[in-house]
């Protein structure tokens, strides 16, 4: 059985047993170009570009343990950490945010949006972020899917919603009647919805947006772009909509009729070359983003052959649907930049992590973006990007950045062209392996410890990475 068919099996299981195919994709034309795996020698694609080899890490632990903090979730997709208390907020796809404290999981949810949220295989309550000054202002931001709203074209699937709520003084409840809609985006199809919302070190809110769904960035709601070899798509367009991009907005100010402002240094701030919310583009389904010492890592789910993670910089184009990973998508040959008349001929940037859907070692069906480990519980993981695949089967992945970069980036992309990072499998040890049949998301607390949100033998759970 190939991993392509495995992905279809996972999505079929999701439809039968609950909405768990969150990072999945529709089938489509396979990629063309070079044939590489995550653990082979360096190869050259059809455009003549060479990508450095990814190899097994030398100092990584062979296995890690998982300390379970809470179970009983349906599909836990995101976690946020209170800055002023021993408290974690867990967002469940079905529409509730739960509070976990040292005494356990509170019975009463922090927020209940079940009457508002549209839940499907890739829709629902998808992300949560606390304002950097949450301890003082109690502002919390959630990203969810809603039925079509005013302005959503006929025939579209649903509406992307980013909203703000105010929490109570003790931080244990969000005031349901305090909702303020920040951003709405019409979504053509029900898949490729991304869902990450997180604050950067600059204080701005970063928002991941998928390409609008279906397969290949084509069909209803997918606009024409500069690349004629493949029809569509939103990933390469920055003028017609906000799909297929990472957005950056200032939620502490308002501008015009928006409930946010545009940072002055956004790529298209103050001009008409693109919509000003765009920070980076060329994404298919950016499923989980993370900051580490100024670096922005974005995992982007592939179509049918490759999964990828990119070190994202302001104004960067990450290739979809010209490329899938570092490979030509649905064409024998493809350019490595846009034409000179499209934003000055910007380069299509390769990922720093890539793995295939078939083969041995680091393989899978849908990448789940992770976190860089900065904790003390597992010293051998220090500085390592810990991530996974939807089809976890009791294992995680670890990627080691070059020694030349140990964080310290600026989100402007300095030193991002270092080739593929060495990547290896890290098993989940012994009885803990059954906790991660599927991995949905990761989180990192103020101490740098990494958490895994997954489903397994005991249902949906929140686990902290620990020594094996």
Q: What is the 3-state secondary structure (H, E, C) of 72-112?
A: EECCEEEEEECCCCCEEEEEECCCEEEEEECCEECCCCCEE
Contact between residue 278 and residue 241 where contact means Cβ atoms under 8 Å apart = no
Q: What is the pLDDT of residue 407?
A: 53
Q: What is the pLDDT of residue 410?
A: 43
Low-confidence ranges of the chain (pLDDT < 50): 1-21, 25-57, 409-417
3-state SS class at 382: coil
Q: What is the pLDDT of residue 352?
A: 98
Residue-range domain boundaries for the chain: 3-38+77-381
Q: What is the pLDDT of residue 374?
A: 98
Distances (CA, A) of 1 to 8, 22, 307: 11, 22, 19
Alpha-carbon span 99 to 93, nearest angstrom: 15
Q: Where are the beta strands (DSSP E) in 87-173?
A: 87-92, 96-101, 104-105, 111-112, 125-130, 139-146, 158-167
Q: What is the pLDDT of residue 43?
A: 39
Q: Where are the beta strands (DSSP E) in 226-273?
A: 245-249
Homologous superfamily of the 3-38+77-381 domain (CATH): TolB, C-terminal domain (2.120.10.30)
Q: What is the pLDDT of residue 440?
A: 98
Q: Three-state SS across 1-12?
A: CCHHHHHHHHHH
Alpha-carbon span 299 to 372, nearest angstrom: 13
Structure tokens at 303: 């179509």
Segment (H or E) for 442: strand 438-444
Question: Cα 238 to chain center, whole Å?
Answer: 20
Q: What is the pLDDT of residue 40?
A: 33
Q: What is the pLDDT of residue 59?
A: 83
Contact between residue 197 and residue 129 where contact means Cβ atoms under 8 Å apart = yes
pTM of the model: 0.90
Q: What is the pLDDT of residue 272?
A: 87
Listed residue (396, 399, 403, 389) closest to 422, CA to CA: 399
Contact between residue 238 and residue 244 where contact means Cβ atoms under 8 Å apart = no
């Amino acid at each position: 059985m190939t991993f392509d068919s495995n992905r279809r099996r996972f999505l079929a299981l999701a439809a039968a047993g609950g909405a768990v195919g969150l990072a999945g994709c529709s089938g489509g034309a396979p990629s063309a170009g070079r044939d590489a795996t995550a653990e082979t020698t360096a190869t050259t694609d059809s455009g003549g570009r060479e990508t450095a080899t990814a190899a097994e890490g030398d100092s990584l632990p062979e296995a890690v343990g998982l300390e379970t903090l809470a179970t009983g979730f349906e599909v836990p997709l995101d976690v946020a950490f209170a800055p002023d208390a021993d408290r974690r907020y867990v967002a469940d796809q079905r529409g509730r945010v739960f509070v976990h404290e040292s005494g356990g999981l509170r019975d009463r949810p922090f927020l209940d949006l079940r009457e508002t949220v549209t839940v499907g295989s890739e829709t629902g309550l998808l992300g949560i972020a606390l304002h950097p000054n949450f301890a003082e202002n109690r502002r919390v931001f959630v990203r969810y899917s809603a039925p079509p709203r005013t302005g959503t074209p006929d025939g579209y699937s649903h509406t992307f919603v980013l909203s703000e709520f105010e929490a109570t003084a003790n931080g244990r409840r969000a005031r349901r009647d305090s909702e303020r809609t920040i951003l709405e985006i019409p979504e053509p199809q029900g898949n490729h919805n991304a869902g990450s919302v997180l604050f950067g070190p600059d204080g701005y809110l970063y928002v991941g947006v998928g390409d609008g769904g279906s397969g290949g960035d084509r069909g209803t709601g997918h606009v024409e772009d500069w690349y004629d070899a493949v029809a569509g798509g939103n990933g390469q367009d920055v003028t017609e909509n906000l799909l297929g991009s990472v957005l950056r907005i200032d939620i502490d100010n308002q501008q015009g009729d928006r409930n946010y402002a545009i940072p002055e240094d956004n790529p298209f701030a103050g001009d008409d070359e693109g919509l000003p919310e765009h920070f980076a583009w060329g994404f298919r389904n950016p499923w989980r983003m993370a900051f580490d010492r100024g670096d922005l890592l974005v995992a982007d789910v592939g179509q049918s052959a490759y999964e990828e993670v990119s070190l994202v910089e302001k104004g960067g184009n990450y290739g979809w649907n010209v490329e899938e990973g570092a490979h030509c998508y649905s064409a024998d040959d493809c350019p490595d930049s846009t034409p000179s008349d499209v934003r000055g001929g910007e380069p299509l940037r390769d990922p720093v992590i890539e793995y295939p859907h078939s083969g041995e070692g680091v393989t899978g069906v849908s990448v789940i973006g992770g976190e860089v480990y900065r904790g003390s519980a597992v010293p051998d993981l220090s500085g390592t990007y810990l991530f996974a695949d939807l089809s976890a089967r009791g294992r995680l992945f670890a990627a080691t950045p070059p020694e030349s970069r140990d964080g310290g980036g600026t989100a402007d992309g300095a030193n991002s062209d270092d080739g593929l990072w060495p990547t290896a499998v890290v098993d989940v040890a012994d009885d803990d392996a059954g906790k991660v049949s599927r991995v949905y998301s990761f989180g990192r607390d103020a101490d740098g410890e990494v958490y895994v949100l997954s489903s397994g033998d005991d249902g949906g759970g929140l686990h902290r990475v620990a020594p094996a």
